[in-house]
Amino acid sequence: MTKQQAEGRSCAGCGVKLQTESVDQLGYIPEGALAKEPPVCQRCFRIKNYNEAASVAIDQDDFLKLLSGIAGTNSLVVHIVDLFDFEGSLISGLQRFVGNNPVLLVVNKIDLLPKSINPNRLLNWVQKQTKAQGLKVVDIVLCSAKRNIGFERVIESIGRHRGDRNVYVVGATNVGKSTLINRLIHDYSDLERELTTSRYPGTTLDAVHIPLDDGKEIIDTPGIVYMHRMTEIVPRDVLGALLPDKPIKQLVYQLNEGQTLFFGALARFDFIEGERQSFSLYVSNALQVHRTKLERADELFAEHKGEMLAPPSREQLEEMPAWTRHRLNIRRGTDTDIFVSGLGWIHVNGASGALIDMHVPKGIRVLTREALI
């Protein structure tokens, strides 16, 4: 392939237009790599082979324009969400973007939950949350694209609801869209290509059109960047500690009022008021949790942030938003989760009620919800 032929072609990994001129611009491919089929930009090559990614800013308005265009098509919309960050990865207002097109909700990463959880209870919980968010769906499928759990049900549900439509796949960044689509490519077409999959947000940069054997297409859209998710604001090398890659182990702390838990230097949980009780933490196993007294918490953070309380490092913390406090009143007799988008959740067995302060970087979503587990 010549330099001229590169123009007009797209990267098979992320969908961006290829170019050979500017190394620091999107779509750069070295001339020597042009002959390879399918052609892959240098960014995707480095993600795939070295687990690296250059930081790329994608315009949020372009995402919304792309989504708005779906209403005018005749398509099945497959919305993928991350069970570990359910409220953080659900696309708010999706209904108004998709028009009358049917929506299939695929809940990915169920392999991260402890094996003891009842699948029917999980499905009921997802149905309730989906309804509460005003999203109408034709089906909900629980799966793990990575571990190949429940994937036959995804294929079967797409087959049942697609008819002769195209399939749009939408989701926030890092919910497992590309992994899922790579499975669809293998099941639905004879293409010998894969989308770039990576732990880094924003891997797919443009809509990628994948032709199917019946003449229709799967359209993979770029992941929407939601800055209310912890995963979007931490430095790249912190993602490994934040994103679980194996089942999360429940951590149980018996706390008296006036005790504090630090999640590295990413968040802080203060038990302000209530009877002695247990709190169950569902966060990445790689994240260090440190317990102290509330009266010492400010001093401890000032002295040890970025060192004993890490990640992130002291330097990285300076690049992140300052903490803000969320006061949460857990009512007596409720079974409640305190959910922090991108970090996980704390289950409060609210038999006796509790007053909690949650400190997180400004803008990160914190909410209470009916307990998942």
Could you tell me the CATH number of the domain that includes residue 74?
3.40.50.300
Give the pLDDT of residue 251: 96
Q: Are residues 159 and 303 in the same domain?
A: no
Residue 231 domain-assigned?
Answer: no
DSSP letters spanning 263-297: ETTTEEEEEEESSSEEEEEEE-TTS-EEEEEHHHH
Q: Are residues 141 and 193 in the same domain?
A: yes
Q: Are residues 277 and 319 in the same domain?
A: yes
Reply yes or no on whether the pLDDT at 55 is more than 50: no
Reduce the DSSP state of residue 82 to 3 states and report it.
strand
Residue 232 domain-assigned?
Answer: no
pLDDT (tens digit, 9 = 90+) per residue, 315-349? Answer: 999 888 889 999 999 999 899 999 999 999 999 98
Contact between 369 and 336 under an 8 Å Cβ cutoff? The reply is: yes
Q: Are residues 278 and 196 in the same domain?
A: no
Please state, rounded to an integer, the average pLDDT across all residues of the chain.
86
* Look-up of token digits 């392939």: 1
Number of domains in the chain: 3
Contact between 258 and 207 under an 8 Å Cβ cutoff? The reply is: no
Q: Are residues 158 and 98 in the same domain?
A: yes
CA 68/CA 61 separation, integer angstroms? 10
Question: Could you tell me which residue, 349 or 369, shows the higher pLDDT?
Answer: 369
Reply yes or no on whether the pLDDT at 113 is more than 80: yes
Mean pLDDT score, 155-177: 90
Per the structure, the complete domain to which residue 245 belongs is given by 237-370
Does the model's pTM come out above 0.85? no
Q: Are residues 244 and 210 in the same domain?
A: no
Give the pLDDT of residue 24: 64
pLDDT (tens digit, 9 = 90+) per residue, 124-134? Answer: 999 999 999 88
Reply yes or no on whether the pLDDT at 108 is more than 90: yes
Give the pLDDT of residue 49: 60
Q: Are residues 11 and 149 in the same domain?
A: no
Give the pLDDT of residue 57: 41
Neighbouring CB atoms inside 10 A of 106's CB total 27
Identify the bridge partners of residue 279 per DSSP, sorted by sequence position: 253, 348
Give the pLDDT of residue 139: 97
Q: Are residues 159 and 254 in the same domain?
A: no
